Amino acid sequence: MDKMKLTTALLALLLTFVLIACEEKSDSKKNADNGAKIVRVATQPGVYAANILLAKVNGYLEDELKNLGVSVRWDSFASGPPLNEAFAAGEEDIGLVGDVPLLVAKASGQKTLAFAKNSSGEKTVALTVKAGSAITDLAQLKGKKVAFVKGSYGHHFLGLLLNQAGLTFGDIEQINLPNADIGNAVGSGQADAGVIWEPGLSSNLKNGVVKKVIDGTGIKSNNVFFFTTESFAKNNPEILKAYLRTLEKANKFIKDDPHKAAELLQGEISLPIETLAELLKLYNYSPYISDADIAELKAVEQFNRTQKFSETEVDVDKFVDRSFLESAGITK
């Protein structure tokens, strides 16, 4: 009987050790998942993302997170859709995307929030036509073939232009193309007009392939935002504040010396140094989200539902959380 009791006690003790080990393993995984030990940052190789890419190159984020015992994993995505898919699969903690897909993802049920602006630049997007084209007025787009990236901020920009001319998307022949292909489509006559953003815009204008009809000045800010999951934001406010400090540092570096920044970014953005340095000057890389940015996001949210990109309404005031900016001392 004593032997049986001893055996039972040993089994119970063994089970306790097993449970503790499993619990520790679970806690370790939980820490990794919510970013307590590692933060997974999704980037894109575009000029609009130059601030976070410069922070990556210069090790700003690693330096900021060192005292928190947090490491960084950098992942690069060619465009917004695959980046959004990675977020939906729970594989990323912080990412960046344009205003239209940002809100589409939220409306689809993703538990995300926007906490900072990546960049903006009114002159970085424009409606273009072939050099020598007779189109000089927005009203002349009626019945014409217009190329743009569907579901992008370029799509929204075109919607605003059509509205100014008293037109709708039903008044034009829509051609959905990648941004990199639109200049050639317009220049070859495949499309009568096209909405292009940087860096394709400057290169096509410089080569004389297209000419600019109108850019986003006073019409659209061309905002790109940083977003994260609600759970990550709740569990890791210090990481987000550290992230914002790195953005401020990178923003200052770019403003003070765009040429040096362009040199450092050569491994991240495949453009000649002089070209990249000039493009950097077209963007505002401040992470601050203004009231005007909120108002523009609300207009984009309504546009998304009008275009049937989403059916669920997004409460922009709740979706955008500026408390982390305030905590980091970023007020403008």
Looking at the chain, which residues constitute the CATH 3.40.190.10 domain(s)?
A: 34-120+223-327, 123-215
**pLDDT values of the chain reduced to their tens digit, one per residue, 332 residues:** 444 443 344 334 333 333 333 333 333 234 434 445 899 999 999 999 999 999 999 999 999 999 999 999 999 998 877 888 898 899 999 999 999 999 999 999 999 999 999 999 999 999 999 999 999 999 999 999 999 999 999 999 999 999 999 999 999 999 999 999 999 999 999 999 999 999 999 999 999 999 999 999 999 999 999 999 999 999 999 999 999 999 999 999 999 999 999 999 999 999 999 999 999 999 999 999 999 999 999 999 999 999 999 999 999 999 999 999 999 999 88
Residues 6+ apart with CB under 8 A from 320: 113, 114, 115, 289, 294, 297
d(C-alpha 331, C-alpha 48), whole Å: 21
CATH architecture of 34-120+223-327: 3-Layer(aba) Sandwich (3.40)
The CA distances from residue 11 to 32, 179, 236, in Å, are 32, 65, 39
Give me the amino acid identity at 18: V
DSSP state of 112: E
Considering the four listed CATH numbers 3.40.190.10, 3.50.50.60, 3.30.450.60, 3.10.20.30, the one that applies to the domain covering 123-215 is 3.40.190.10
φ and ψ at residue 285, rounded to 5 degrees: -100, 15
Residue 146: closest CA among 122, 200, 138, 305: 138
**pTM for this model (two decimals):** 0.87
Residues 6+ apart with CB under 8 A from 108: 310, 312
**Does residue 59 contact residue 65 with C-beta atoms inside 8 Å?**
no
Residue 150: closest CA among 322, 2, 309: 309
**pLDDT tens string 145-178:** 999 999 999 999 999 999 999 999 999 999 999 9
d(C-alpha 176, C-alpha 151), whole Å: 10
